[in-house]
Homo-oligomer: A and B are copies of this chain.
Amino acid sequence: MESNPSEIIFVGHCPDRVGLVACITHFFASENFNILDLAQHSEQGRFFMRVEGKGEGYSQSIQDWKRKFYPVAKGLEMEYTFHTLSDRLRVIMFCSKTLPCPLEIISRVLSNDLPIELLAVISNHMNIAPIVKQLNIPFYYTQTEGETSHFEEEQLGIIQKLKPDMVVLARYMRIMSDHLLQLLAIPVINIHHSFLPSFIGKNPYEQAYQRGVKLIGATAHFVTKDLDEGPIISQDVVQIDHRFSVSDMKQLGADIEKQVLATALRKFSERKVIQWKGRTIVFH
């Protein structure tokens, strides 16, 4: 995960037409920039591209790249960003009483397995506080009884102070209001404990037991105003059988939840995820 300013990531999308790959890769070749990984995709008349590579012999800033690429992008009506590989995503994590997911994220940050900086943990329960504090990560308790507007104001204050690039809900058991989502104006990723669109809403494992499904799973998705309907980033399932009680499902399910959430965060932090019309492009 080491990187230097000459290693950059480009992500862009624009209306599809003949010659796009040629046009963009020509730009990079003219900058003597060596493409190490190129991924592209087209759907419904839209073209998406991610390039990872290394400048030879010199380095230029993200601002330089953005400026130089501007004329190319303008002609293509392209939305685009540049990042250096060493940019770490700045993240705030929300959680509640259930620990496996938040501890997974913390463990991965500690073992340098996720290229993110964990700015703070916000919870409506105190049980994770001692662990978080001992590890020198700022912890905020926000009580979520009573008026939504009240505690969301408190949460907004913390977020506006710390200025994260994104928020992750690691089994945070409250719905984030559309009002707060709009004020945040940054991506929010949630983990839902079912293979969506099955078992939307409360108590998915109880629903799964009732329906008698033979697999349980988890889904990481962007949070939108429509509960459990946001664009899906990653999903996985595990086989179960009739012997699994709801409580067995919860235990086994937690393993999938944390794995799926970690995968989504890894992909997102590597700038490999693009939202488009209710779907996501998640490059390899």
Contacts and interface: CB of A to CB of B under 8 A. Distances in A.
Interface stretch (A66-74, A84-92, A96-104, A181-189): A96-104
B215 A235 contact: yes
Interface residues on A, range: 35 or more
B18 A22 contact: no
Nearest to A230: B212
Interface string A191-206: 0000111110000000
Counting every copy of the chain, the complex holds 4
Q: 10 nearest interchain CB pairs?
A: A212-B279, A19-B29, A99-B111, A22-B25, A134-B134, A103-B107, A22-B29, A214-B235, A21-B25, A198-B198
A241 B217 CA distance: 17
B235 A213 contact: yes
Interface stretch (A32-40, A146-154, A157-165): A32-40
A21 B32 CA distance: 13
A159 to B, nearest CB: 26
A251 B113 contact: yes
11 contacts: A21-B38, A22-B22, A23-B29, A25-B25, A41-B243, A99-B112, A113-B254, A134-B135, A195-B198, A195-B213, A241-B282
A195 B34 CA distance: 36
Contact of A107 (B104, B231, B236): B104
A55 to B, nearest CB: 10
A60 interface: no
